Structure 1
Amino acid sequence: MTVHPSLQTYADAWTHSVEAISELVKPLVEGEWNGRTPCPGWSVRDIVSHVIGMECEQLGDPRPIHSLPRDLYHVQNDHQRYMEMQVDVRRHHTAPEMTSELEYTLIRRMRQLRNETRSPETMVRAPLRAEQTLELALHMRAFDVWVHEQDLRTALGQPGNLDSPGALITRDTLLEALPKVVAKDAGAPPNTAVVIDVQGPVEFLRTVRVDGEGNGSVDGSPSLGPAVTLAMDWETYYRLACGRVRAQAVEDRVKAEGDQELAGAILRNFAVTP
């Protein structure tokens, strides 16, 4: 048996990205595992540890019993503490230990997906002792591993896969959060529209509309008189939305037209990942 048809897109995207991660880190020597990545506070080793840990949790493995150090500046809330546990417990693992555990975990996880017979609505394990549907779990794993693949590519100077299956899932995932960014976080006035124009390997144009009650929605129709138009390339968009870079650092790659105060508020609140 294979995964349910509605899950296949996520399974394929996840597989594409985790195999790319495995190939990226396989030839690394010991010192390269400590290299900084765009993911705040995490090294190459930390990102691979996170991927291993999250896939182990999807397999049903118990979480490690481990006490976090108190001096981790990037750990500031319960969600970050939860994620850090799988990372910190592996911080002293050697390169061979990391690559062998990654390979073994991916073999187990791919076998699990090949043999998956549960329905997409089945409730499964989620972070912080919560539950989520199997479909959402696999969706979020496909999104997460693509973003972390890009973290590793940036850290290792090996760009690529900006238009892979995981990139398209990432686009859709980030666009779902855009109405809240514009309407709630940035405080766009009622009855206004904001256009996002993205070029590059993944191209799209979306309009966020704020209704009379201040609620946001997003669609693919152009607006004739938007309050703000933000134009940027795909890499800049995902890096901003995933909190990999601040707006000030990429202001030369973002063209903002219209209400500059609102544009600035949107860009300051653009990051939507925890």
Structure 2
Amino acid sequence: MTVHSKIQPYIDAWTHSIESINELVAPLVEGEWNRPTECPYWSVRDVVSHVIGYECEMLGDPRPIHTLPSDLRHITSEFARYIEVPVDTRRHHTAPEMTSELEYTIIRRSRQLRNESRGPEQSMRGPMGQEMTLEHLLWMRTFDVWVHEQDLRRALGTPGNLASPAAVYARDFLLRGLPKMIAKDAGAQPGSAVVFDIHGPLEFMRTVRIDQEGRGTIDSAVSLGPAVTFSTDWETFLRLVCGRVRPAAVADRVKVEGDQGLANAILAHIALTP
């Protein structure tokens, strides 16, 4: 049993989401594994392969020794290469091979997490050898699994879990990136504020404020006279911030009020995930 109560909610949210993925893909026939998803260049099989690969790495399994094909256009960085290797190694796996490996990986990883006795501040080795706390690593895995659950749901036409416990953790994970993006990348002026008014299954309002030194912060307090206000639904916000869709493709779902120039700059940089 997990010793630290601070960790257990992450494990519960991760469990709910990865088991939902298992239920989604278990009945798929061979051809359905090739359906494209909004995750750029990845099919249903590729998304599930990515989830399996990352969880196997968390289990301490050795990374596969594999040379990627030279014609993969989306491999433009070492990080992209790093996450593509476990995906490409499974591109020819059959549906039964995929479902059995996913199920077995969930069993192994769930057992590992049930026996987790380290504290939330324990330093851990994350992706590409990056050092982070155990709490942050679990938060990141919960975020990643839930976002890919949603990729699969959209690809398969089975919406759901948009307000699940993992969805809340994913929201908070994404919101942390807005202040830097708006202050630095989009160039919002000191003293300005940008409001995101999100409705739907997960409703929230957040204000990004730029201080006089040009640093951004985020809070839930109402802002009077913001420079820009974005109003949209939670799923559209998610798709934009995760780079699943271009702003022009969902312009009819995003209401913008205020400084159009700043709004355009924010939308040009809104995709926060690699």
Shift of 1:32: 0.6
Q: Distance in 2 between matches of 1:104 and 1:219?
A: 41
Shift of 1:144: 0.3
Contact 1:3 1:113 in 2 (8 A): no
Q: Distance in 1 between matches of 2:209 and 2:58?
A: 37
Greater Cα shift, 72-81 or 256-265: 72-81
Structure 2 residue ranges without an equivalent (≥5): none
Q: Would you say how many aligned residue pairs link Structure 1 and Structure 2?
A: 274
Greater Cα shift, 131-140 or 148-157: 131-140
Alignment of 1:184-263 (within 5 A): 184-263=184-263
Contact 1:57 1:125 in 2 (8 A): no
Shift of 1:119: 1.2
- Check if 1:92 corresponds to 2:92: yes
The one-letter amino acid of 1:25's match is: V
Q: Which residue in 1 is equivalent to 2:35?
A: 35
- Check if 1:270 corresponds to 2:270: yes
After superposition, the C-alpha distances for 1:198-221 in whole angstroms (9 at most, x for unaligned) are 001111111111011111001111
Q: Distance in 1 between matches of 2:231 and 2:170?
A: 18
Q: Distance in 2 between matches of 1:27 and 1:167?
A: 24
Q: Which residue in 1 is equivalent to 2:126?
A: 126
Is the partner of 1:196 in helix, strand or coil? strand
The one-letter amino acid of 2:152's match is: L
Shift of 1:123: 2.2
Q: Distance in 2 between matches of 1:245 and 1:3?
A: 40
Contact 1:196 1:231 in 2 (8 A): yes
Contact 1:124 1:133 in 2 (8 A): yes
Change (3 A) 1:121 1:49: same
Shift of 1:268: 1.2
Alignment of 1:102-141 (within 5 A): 102-141=102-141
Shift of 1:55: 0.4
Shift of 1:3: 4.9
- Paired-residue identity, %: 68
Q: Distance in 1 between matches of 2:58 and 2:133?
A: 12
Q: Which residue in 2 is equivalent to 1:4?
A: 4
Q: Which residue in 1 is equivalent to 2:26?
A: 26
Q: Distance in 2 between matches of 1:3 and 1:134?
A: 13
After superposition, the C-alpha distances for 1:167-222 in whole angstroms (9 at most, x for unaligned) are 10111011111101211111101111111100011111111110111110011111
Structure 1 residue ranges without an equivalent (≥5): none
Is the partner of 2:18 in helix, strand or coil? helix
After superposition, the C-alpha distances for 1:56-75 in whole angstroms (9 at most, x for unaligned) are 01111110000011111112
Shift of 1:128: 1.4
Contact 1:3 1:114 in 2 (8 A): no
Is the partner of 2:119 in helix, strand or coil? coil
Shift of 1:162: 0.5
Q: Which residue in 2 is equivalent to 1:165?
A: 165
Alignment of 1:145-156 (within 5 A): 145-156=145-156
The one-letter amino acid of 1:255's match is: K
Q: Distance in 2 between matches of 1:32 and 1:149?
A: 15
- Taking structure 2 as the reference length, what is the TM-score of the superposition? 0.98
The CA RMSD measured in Å over matched residues stands at 0.8
Is the partner of 2:147 in helix, strand or coil? helix
Q: Distance in 2 between matches of 1:19 and 1:146?
A: 10
After superposition, the C-alpha distances for 1:72-130 in whole angstroms (9 at most, x for unaligned) are 11121111110001100111111111000001000000000111111112222211122
Misfit runs of 4+, over 4 Å: none
Q: Distance in 1 between matches of 2:61 and 2:163?
A: 32
Q: Distance in 1 between matches of 2:156 and 2:122?
A: 38
Q: Distance in 2 between matches of 1:137 and 1:224?
A: 37
Is the partner of 1:2 in helix, strand or coil? coil
